[in-house]
Amino acid sequence: MRIILFTGKGGVGKSVISSATALKTSLMGLRTLLISTDPAHTLSDAFGMKIGSIETKVSENLYAIQIDPIYEATKHYSILFEFLSEIFKSRNIDEVVAYEIANFPGATGAAALLKLRDYVKSNNYDVIIIDMIPSGDALRLLYMPYVIGKMSRRFMRIIAPLTDVGRIAASMVNIPMPSREVVETQIELLNMMEDVHKILIDTKMTSLRIIMNPDAFSIENAKRTFIQSSIYGINTDLVIMNKILPDELKDVYFKNWKEAQEHYIKQSEIDFYPIPLKKLRLLPNEVKGRDALEKIANELYDDDPVKIYYEGKPINVVSSEKGVEIILSAPFVKKDELEVERFGDELIIHIETQAGKSTILLPLPAITYKYSLKSAKLINKNLHIYFGE
């Protein structure tokens, strides 16, 4: 099975390219599922037919679904929402506000990833293509499995032994204690989210493809996404430059635009190397319907869209007598934009880029537990972090 995730800044053409890729793989005879987590319901627009929250047959070998994140979140998290909201209400927080706080950021999107897990387990498809929400939110969702896992472990260590005796204490301190059902739900979520994490970092199965337009803001956003995905351990195998003004456009009005685009394309090919960069011109009409999508697919892919275009190893751990060295791929990062600190069994990396500041939380391998963080250096687009006595 192959899983391909498409992301990028809003408006770059994620849904069109995701749909075109899915159509291409289905025409190759591969049973394909196209999933959208974007609340804009763009799949229906792309194919010119209604696509809802159940699998819809679009054509031979091609099925599509528009994930309903509210339904999925309620299905998986409802009991946790109820418990957290009860805690907030016990502190005299308005009930409506309590529910909003309890619905922690990314929960609905994380539930959509649980849906992916279900499809992988069922093994009914050869290819699953996901049209992700815009890249800033998408990357938080891709890392949510680890975050949930850490929260669950800490929660279980503290709460699990107290589920029975805690009822007495709850009445004394006026703070509700979780029921055994809540604890069991946490355990189940932990197992499911760990499954999702394994799927996402399996480079033989899953690839991230970043879509951008030839303009400064879109490219900086793509670089930020690439930095984060590299450090998270998710393999980016392809970058796509979309909406390029075609050569046949000679109007002097677009002269400066075309020159700027040529510069951005050449620079991006250098900056993203060795990740391949595919180019797609701006079409004269809005892309809607099967014929237009097939045209896009054939122009974009003169090869197998399912293949792994590039496979790197984002994280290396090297052990020696002096300690441990962790090497992370960190493209586009400069020394003065980087700060690294340790918090227990986690590494916190702060990165300042032109697209904004990112804070990335990474689990440390067990071998580092007996060492202290000594230093961090940037060498040839790699971040070298040293641990020693």
d(CA 101, CA 112): 20
Q: Centre a 10 Å sphere on the Cβ of residue 222 and count the other Cβ atoms it contains.
A: 28
Sign of torsion, CA 369 374 376 377? negative
pTM listed for this prediction: 0.77
Q: Which CATH class is domain 1-312?
A: alpha beta
d(CA 362, CA 365): 10
Q: Which fold has domain 315-388?
A: Immunoglobulin-like (2.60.40)
d(CA 379, CA 376): 10
Order of all β-strands in the sheet with 372-379: 315-319, 323-329, 382-388, 372-379
The helix (H) or strand (E) run that includes residue 184 is helix 180-200
Contacts of residue 216, defined as CB under 8 A and 6 or more positions apart, other chains included, come to 264
d(CA 220, CA 206): 24
Say what the pLDDT of residue 108 is.
52
What string of pLDDT tens digits covers the 389 residues of the chain?
Answer: 999 999 998 889 999 999 999 999 999 999 999 998 766 668 888 998 999 888 999 999 999 998 876 676 666 666 555 655 555 555 555 555 444 444 555 555 566 677 888 999 999 999 999 998 765 555 565 565 555 555 555 555 555 555 444 444 444 444 455 566 666 666 676 677 778 888 988 999 999 999 999 999 899 888 888 877 877 778 999 999 999 999 888 888 999 999 999 999 998 988 888 899 999 999 888 888 999 999 999 999 999 999 999 998 666 788 888 899 988 877 777 777 788 888 887 788 887 765 566 777 676 777 888 899 999 988 888 889 999 98
- What is residue 314's DSSP assignment? -
- Contact (CB, 8 A) for 274 and 244: no
Say what the pLDDT of residue 281 is.
94
Report, in angstroms and rounded to the nearest whole number, the Rg of the chain calculated over CA atoms.
23
The helix (H) or strand (E) run that includes residue 359 is strand 356-363
Token couple for 48: 């010119």
The residue extents of the domains of the chain are 1-312, 315-388
Query: C-alpha distances in angstroms, 256 versus 44, 214, 218?
Result: 35, 13, 18
d(CA 178, CA 83): 7
Sign of torsion, CA 207 212 216 221? negative
- Contact (CB, 8 A) for 326 and 345: no
Q: Centre a 10 Å sphere on the Cβ of residue 269 and count the other Cβ atoms it contains.
A: 15
The helix (H) or strand (E) run that includes residue 244 is strand 236-244
Q: If we measure between CA atoms, which residue out of 135, 136, 81 comes closest to residue 108?
A: 81
Say what the pLDDT of residue 98 is.
44
Q: Helix 216-232 to helix 135-159 angle, to the nearest 10 degrees?
A: 30
Do the strands 323-329 and 315-319 form a parallel or antiparallel pair, or are they unpaired? antiparallel
Say what the pLDDT of residue 150 is.
56
Q: Centre a 10 Å sphere on the Cβ of residue 327 and count the other Cβ atoms it contains.
A: 16
The residues facing 292 across adjacent strands are none
Do the strands 372-379 and 236-244 form a parallel or antiparallel pair, or are they unpaired? unpaired
Return the amino acid letter for 116.
Answer: L
Q: If we measure between CA atoms, which residue out of 198, 94, 136, 147 comes closest to residue 10?
A: 136
Residue 71 half-sphere exposure, CB side, CA atoms within 13 Å? 9
